[in-house]
């Protein structure tokens, strides 16, 4: 029996709620072996990001070659890339190793509001990583930044932005509705053929730290297990919704606390 393996390429969150730590928790919770390539170290907690230390591009490349050269990686999740040299290193490695599935979460701003991507790296994200991805998972503000447009406020506008993102070279886009309004949080999965609305009840909680990281890594975990894209997204959405609903079982930190990755177990 082959062990499904997923790789996260992201930043480290010293408080454990987002980034590499959240991704590895997600992989473990979903029964997938997790490997990691760290792009940046952050001094971070539930209230703020106080410092960022990006790792050199050549060391990111060394980590990628070490993992891909030995492990049978079924899916890759890309989160915080921090800077231009990291994007170039990751893009070159993806071309060299050609993993089957790449889920790109275009992380630009933390839940706390702190900026996580250098301004000069946004264009490289558009031109080098989006075309290499199987799926990108922007929230509403991230989709707007990628397109240089206002935040979409209607389903028609979301669908329009989704199709513009597809034109950047990726086959599928999941625009997340967590920043929207209303009693339901609706995510929109858009590919070249259709748009699928995935709704879940909006949960009243301040414990949402790492939600975006964890959803994208959950999708990667399900893809690593061999699921088709829509099935993987649906299963990941169901899991993340339950993790958010269970988040108030935790009392961690004094800001936006973490979700409950292991809600199925305790």
By annotation, the residues acting in catalysis are 176, 208, 210-213
Alpha-carbon gap, residue 60 to 18, rounded angstroms: 19
Q: Which helix (H) or strand (E) holds 84?
A: helix 84-97
List alpha helices for 113-205, DSSP H. 122-124, 140-147, 155-166
CA distance 76 to 36: 10
H or E element at residue 29: helix 19-29
Q: Per the structure block, which two tokens stand in for 177?
A: 């509705």
CA atoms within 13 A on the CB side of 100: 17
Question: At how many degrees (to 10) do helices 211-224 and 19-29 cross?
Answer: 40
- What is the β-pairing status of strands 102-104 and 172-175? unpaired
Which among 127, 51, 66, 58 is positioned nearest to 86, based on CA atoms? 58
Whether the Cβ atoms of residue 77 and residue 9 lie closer than 8 Å to each other:
yes
Question: Any idea what DSSP says for residue 262?
Answer: T
């Amino acid at each position: 029996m082959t062990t499904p393996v997923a790789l996260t390429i992201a930043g480290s969150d010293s408080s454990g709620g987002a980034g590499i730590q959240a991704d590895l928790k997600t992989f473990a919770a979903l029964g997938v072996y997790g490997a990691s390539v760290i792009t940046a170290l952050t001094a971070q907690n539930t209230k703020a990001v106080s410092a960022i230390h990006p790792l050199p591009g050549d060391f990111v490349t060394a980590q990628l070659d070490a993992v891909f050269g030995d492990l049978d990686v079924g899916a890759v999740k890309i989160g915080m890339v921090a800077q231009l040299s990291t994007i170039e290193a990751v893009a070159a490695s993806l071309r060299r190793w050609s993993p089957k599935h790449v889920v790109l979460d275009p992380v630009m701003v933390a839940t706390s509001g702190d900026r996580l991507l250098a301004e000069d790296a946004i264009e490289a994200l558009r031109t080098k990583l989006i075309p290499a991805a199987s799926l990108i998972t922007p929230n509403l503000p991230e989709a707007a930044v990628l397109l240089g447009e206002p935040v979409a406020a209607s389903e028609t506008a979301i669908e329009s932005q989704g199709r513009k993102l597809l034109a950047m070279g990726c086959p599928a886009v999941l625009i997340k509705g967590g920043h929207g309004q209303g009693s339901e949080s609706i995510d929109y999965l858009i590919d070249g053929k259709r748009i699928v609305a995935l709704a879940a009840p909006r949960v009243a909680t301040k414990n949402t730290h790492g939600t975006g990281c964890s959803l994208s890594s959950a999708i990667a975990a399900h893809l690593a297990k061999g699921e088709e894209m829509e099935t993987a997204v649906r299963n990941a959405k169901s899991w993340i919704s339950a993790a958010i609903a269970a988040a108030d079982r935790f009392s961690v930190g004094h800001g936006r606390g973490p979700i409950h990755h292991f809600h199925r177990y305790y």
